[in-house]
Amino acid sequence: MTAHATTASLTVAGWPGLTPRLLRTEPGTESLAAYTAAGGYRSLGDPEGLLTEVHAAGILGRGGAAFPLGVKLRTVRTSALAGWDTVVLANGEEGEPASIKDRWLLRHRPHLVLDGLRLAAHIVGARNAHVYLSDPGAAATITDALAELGPDGLAGLTVSLRVVDPAYVAGEETAAVRAVNGGPAKPTDKPPRPFLAGIGGLPTLVSNVETLANLPYVAQHGAARYRESGTDASPGTFLCTVTGGGRDAALYELPHGVRVADLLAHRGVPAESVRGALLGGYFAGLVNREVLEATVDHAGFTAIGSGLGCGAVSLITAECPVAVAAAVLEYFGRENAGQCGSCFNGTAAMAAVAVALREQTAAAEDVDALRRWSQVLPGRGACGTLDAATNIAASLLEKFPAEVAAHLEHACPDCRPGGYAPQRPFEVEAQ
């Protein structure tokens, strides 16, 4: 069974031979009746038993860091067992422009997300939960889904909606907590982490909406069946946003471990046209044609010096990799929180060099400075923005030295005036 739907600019499809777990075949937003008929909102059982299954399933966070969900749940549950009130937060603020998965789930499968939130709250003993997002369409579908459920539809769990302005930094977990607490949607210093002191100062589970959307499958089918797809180290399926390659954007549900070559063939992109890719959204950096030999999972992308991140893959074909890096660094220069001097100044400085490279006006000493910044700036910001920017700079210099040299020699035909310079490269609009 393969889910497949197409809009004007987004294809939504499962993987051949894979029964979808997160996507659905029918168009539109899934109703309460349809979700319940398919086995959703099952009776809550023993929370400890469910947590054991989650641990065995090996669900990794889908927000970017791939932190084991079972560990997060256990940590907050321990606080509940010690007498603390706890809180859960479904993080749907998808700050990565090249990703669409979270907005799609919220808009099209709101009950799957809310059911996952309910199960997480059951495990950690929380009575209050929040759905955090910026997309107005997603906010409307979640509001409608909560109205369908009624006041007692989530087994006594009270769910509040927090809508913020979209921003790259707004999806960081401490930014989400800060916003729900009444402050700006900007990151704070760590510690404390939200699992220690989050919303209202209480131990808080902050989990990405796709991560939570995996819980109903485990609750219904168990860990062993969950692991029937994927790899030992990256079990299960995940939502992969694919852009570039001269094709409309696509959202696929893939089993971890699919070969990039097979993904290209499925998408109809000739392998010989691929110069490289931007992986993990804007965070994990650029890779060259090594990507063609990789598998789409955490180990596969780590092996080529990158990361799966939020599951976004942007193929670089006609675009110049230097111009792609410059566009992303310009984005970080605009989107940083403006709270940390190292990030505010560092992203701006790296962007300026990358733009000069794109315009073929940079000198060798500018590239030396970019290399130095990419090595000394990681870890100096309150959130991951500066690290993401340094990943872009470092990977450009490491993976595309010939292209960098061509720009220093004013010899790149792709970056003449009018070349690739979007404000939000590989952006996917909500559908």
d(CA 375, CA 369): 10
* Segment holding 338, helix H or strand E: none
Using an 8 Å Cβ cutoff, are 189 and 30 in contact?
no
Burial of 231 (0-12, 13-18, 19+ CB in 10 A): middle
Domains and CATH numbers, the chain: 20-226 (3.40.50.11540), 237-316 (3.10.20.600), 321-415 (1.20.1440.230)
Please tell me whether the overall predicted TM-score, pTM, comes out greater than 0.85 for this model: yes
Tokens representing residue 3 in the block = 């889910």
Backbone torsions φ then ψ of 143, nearest 5 degrees? -60, -45
Q: What is the pLDDT of residue 8?
A: 44
Of the candidates 25, 334, 309, which has an alpha carbon nearest to the alpha carbon of residue 168?
Answer: 334
CA angle 303, 317, 263 (to 5 degrees): 55
Cα 84 to Cα 81, 125, 126, 172, 206: the distances in Å are 7, 9, 10, 24, 16
Using an 8 Å Cβ cutoff, are 205 and 126 in contact?
yes
Of the candidates 60, 177, 197, 188, which has an alpha carbon nearest to the alpha carbon of residue 130?
Answer: 177
Q: What is the pLDDT of residue 431?
A: 74
d(CA 45, CA 50): 7
Pairing verdict, β 10-13 and 249-255: parallel
Using an 8 Å Cβ cutoff, are 427 and 404 in contact?
no
d(CA 27, CA 12): 10
Of the candidates 309, 307, 332, 352, which has an alpha carbon nearest to the alpha carbon of residue 425?
Answer: 332
Burial of 55 (0-12, 13-18, 19+ CB in 10 A): middle
Measured from the Cβ of residue 53, the count of other Cβ atoms closer than 10 Å reads 19
* pLDDT one digit per residue (tens) for the chain, 431 residues: 344 454 447 999 999 999 999 999 788 999 999 999 999 999 999 999 999 999 999 999 999 889 999 999 999 999 999 999 999 999 999 989 999 999 999 999 999 999 999 999 999 999 999 999 999 999 999 999 999 999 889 989 999 999 999 999 999 999 999 999 999 999 998 889 999 999 999 999 999 999 999 999 999 999 999 999 999 999 999 999 999 999 999 999 999 999 999 999 999 999 999 999 999 999 999 999 999 999 999 999 999 999 999 999 999 999 999 999 999 999 999 999 899 999 999 999 999 999 999 999 999 999 999 999 999 999 998 888 999 999 999 999 999 999 999 999 999 999 977 789 999 999 998 87
DSSP one-letter string for 131-163:
EEE--HHHHHHHHHHHHHH-TTTTTT-EEEEEE
Of the candidates 74, 11, 68, which has an alpha carbon nearest to the alpha carbon of residue 48?
Answer: 74
Tokens representing residue 328 in the block = 């992303």
